[in-house]
Amino acid sequence: MTLPTLKVDGLTVYQGNYLALRDVSFELLPGTDTAIVGPNGAGKSTLVKAILDLIPCQAGKIEIFGHSTTKLGTLRHYLGYMPQNFIFDRSFPISVSELVGLGWTDELKKQNPKAKAKYLQFSRLWKQNHEKIKAVTKALRRTGVDHLRHQSIGTLSGGQLKRVLLAYCLVMPRKLLVLDEAFAGVDMQGAADFYVLLNELKQEEGWTILQVSHDIDMVSRHCDRVLCLNQTVVCTGQPEIALSPENLLATYGLGFSRYHHHHN
């Protein structure tokens, strides 16, 4: 039996007195790409925050890699996250390669202090720094932004920044990648290109992906499964089933209009 990468069971979350999520349950199997869709206020971002253990839940449980989110420990390094809005001071002097390098875990800190003779310490530090530089370069090249490595992150376009953040997630081995409206602010062609890259990396790296999206057309083209959410799970399944007119009506209500992109 395959162990789910993520398991959410009976999750209920209140935001103050407001019931944001009610009895939400679902599983993500390894190597799948699942999109969460639903109207504004449906609880999509709340669900992501609960999964990342950023907000408390009033009922239910969440397990990642078979462990409670409160007991992940070093397994948290296998979890990547891309927010909808990466808010930062654009005047802050940090380059693209420096930002991606922050995703590298310093294994030296885990060494036994008693075993740190000076010559070993410098040797390990050099080796690790060399490995870090290689990993950063590889991640930047794979996401198509190596030419920006020395550029300040404050000068990047929205699409460039998304690729740099993806490189940040790629610089260390990950098993679960969570994206919260990661394509917001990116033009249609940029989003389509990003989806293609994301699918390639999913296959190459064996990622399990959970993404919040408002773009039904992109989701139907690129995701393996869809979870329709409106405070609770309305339906879940393959795109052709979950995104049927009946399920979209039940999720979004009357007045919902599905927009179709036109691709050459």
**261 domain-assigned:** no
* DSSP string across the chain: -PPPSEEEEEEEEEETTEEEEEEEEEEE-TT-EEEEE--TTSSHHHHHHHHTTSS--SEEEEEETTEEGGG-GGGGGGEEEE-S-----TTS--BHHHHHHTTS--GGGGS-GGG--HHHHHHHHHHHHHHHHHHHHHHHHHTT-GGGTTSBGGG--HHHHHHHHHHHHHSS--SEEEEESTTTT--HHHHHHHHHHHHHHHHHHT-EEEEE-S-HHHHHHH-SEEEEEESEEEEEE-HHHHTSHHHHHHHH-TT---------
Domain of residue 218, CATH code:
3.40.50.300
**84 domain-assigned:** yes
**124 domain-assigned:** yes
Question: What is the rounded CA–CA span in Å between residue 218 and residue 234?
Answer: 20
pLDDT band (50, 70, 90) for residue 130: confident
**166 domain-assigned:** yes
Cβ atoms within 10 Å of 7's Cβ, excluding its own: 16
Task: List, for residues 36-50, the tens digit of each pLDDT value.
Answer: 999 999 999 999 999
- Bridge-partner residues for 13, per DSSP? 21
**153 domain-assigned:** yes
Question: What is the rounded CA–CA span in Å between residue 117 and residue 123?
Answer: 10
Task: List, for residues 86-119, the tens digit of each pLDDT value.
Answer: 777 788 889 999 999 998 876 434 444 444 454 4
pLDDT at 261: 57
- Count of structural domains within the chain: 1
Task: Say what the pTM is.
Answer: 0.84
Question: What is the rounded CA–CA span in Å between residue 6 and residue 64?
Answer: 5
Quick one: what percent of the chain has pLDDT higher than 70? Answer: 88
- Look up residue 27 and give its two tokens: 């599983």
* DSSP string across 106-118: -GGGGS-GGG--H
**1 domain-assigned:** no
Query: 198, 32 in Cβ contact below 8 A?
Result: no
pLDDT band (50, 70, 90) for residue 73: confident
* DSSP string across 88-104: --TTS--BHHHHHHTTS
For 84, the domain range is 6-252
**264 domain-assigned:** no
**182 domain-assigned:** yes
pLDDT band (50, 70, 90) for residue 248: very high
Task: List, for residues 7-16, the tens digit of each pLDDT value.
Answer: 999 999 999 9
